[in-house]
A and B are shown apart, each in its own frame.
Chain A
Amino acid sequence: MTCHPVARPQDEVPDTSYRTVAVVGPPNSGKTTLFNRLTGLRQKVGNFPGVTVEHHTGYIRDSEGEEVALIDLPGIYSLTAKSEDEKVAIDVLQGNMPGMSRPDAVIVVLNSTNLHSHLVLAGRVIALGLPTLVLLNMADELHKQDGGVDVLSLARQLGTPVALVSATTGAGLEAVTNFLSASSPLPEPMELPVVGSTRSVREWAVRVGENANYRRPATPIWTSRLDNVFLNRTWGPVIFAVVVIAVFQTIFAVGQPLSNLLQKFLDVTGARIGTVLPEGMFRSLLINGVWKGTGSVLVFLPQILLLFLVIGILEDSGYLARAAVIADRTMSRVGLNGKSFIPLLSAYACAVPAIMATRTIESKRDRIATILIAPFMTCSARLPVYTMVIAAFLPNRPLLGPFLGTRAVAMLSLYLLGFLMAVMTARLLKSTVLKSKDAPFILEMPPYRWPKFSALMLRLVDRGKAFLYRAGTVIMLVSLLLWAATNFPMHNGQPPAIQDSVVASLGHAIEPVIRPLGFDWKIGVGLVTSLAAREVIIATLGTLNGIDAESHSFDLQNALRHELTIPGAIALLVFFAFAMQCMSTIAVVRRETNGWKWPAIQFAYMTIVAYVSAFAAYNIAGHFIH
Chain B
Amino acid sequence: MELKMIFNFIFGRKQPRNHHAGKLADLRVGERAILEEFELDHPIAEHLMNLGFVPGLEVTVERSGPGGDPRVYRVEGTEVAMRREVSRHIHVSLVGAPAFGD
Residues of chain A touching chain B, judged by Cβ–Cβ distance below 8 Å, are 26, 77-78, 80, 82, 113-114, 116-117, 120, 198-199, 202, 216-217, 219, 227-228, 231-234, 236-237, 321, 324-326, 328-329, 332, 437-445
Contact = CB atoms under 8 A, between A and B. Distances in A.
Nearest to A238: B66
Interface stretch (B14-22, B73-81, B91-99): B73-81
Interface string B55-68: 10000001111110
A233 B54 contact: no
Contact of B70 (A78, A114, A232, A328): A328
Given A78-B50, A113-B77, A231-B72, A442 B66 contact: no
Contacts of B47: 77, 82, 442
Nearest to B86: A440
Nearest to B101: A224
Closest 3 A-B residue pairs measured CB to CB? A77-B50, A117-B52, A445-B79
B78 A114 contact: yes
Interface residues of B, number: 33
15 contacts: A80-B46, A82-B46, A113-B77, A116-B76, A117-B76, A199-B54, A236-B65, A328-B81, A329-B67, A440-B44, A440-B82, A442-B81, A443-B70, A444-B81, A445-B72
A442 B44 CA distance: 9
A328 B65 contact: yes
Contacts of A440: 44, 82-83, 85-86
A234 B67 CA distance: 10
Contact of B72 (A199, A217, A325): A325
Contacts of A198: 46, 49-50, 54
Interface of B: 7, 41, 43-44, 46-52, 54-55, 62-67, 69-70, 72, 74, 76-83, 85-86
B66 A236 contact: yes
Contacts of A444: 51, 78-81
Contact of A202 (B54, B70, B83): B54
Which among B48, B49, B69 has the greatest number of chain A C-beta atoms within 10 A? B49
A235 B10 CA distance: 19
A186 to B, nearest CB: 26
B86 to A, nearest CB: 5
A116 B76 CA distance: 9
Contacts of A113: 77
A444 B52 CA distance: 10
B65 to A, nearest CB: 5
Nearest to B63: A231
Contact of B83 (A234, A236, A332): A332
Nearest to A233: B66
A438 B49 CA distance: 15
Contacts of B64: 231
Contacts of B74: 219
Given A78-B46, A114-B76, A442 B67 contact: no
Given A80-B46, A442-B47, A329 B77 contact: no
Given A227-B63, A441-B83, 15 more contacts: A77-B51, A80-B46, A82-B43, A82-B46, A114-B52, A117-B51, A199-B49, A199-B55, A216-B76, A231-B66, A231-B72, A438-B41, A441-B86, A442-B81, A444-B51
A445 B63 CA distance: 12
A234 B66 CA distance: 7
A299 to B, nearest CB: 38
A217 B50 contact: no
A225 B53 CA distance: 23
Nearest to A115: B77
A216 B70 contact: no
Contacts of A116: 52, 76
A198 B63 CA distance: 27
Nearest to A443: B81
A56 B85 CA distance: 36
A216 B77 contact: yes
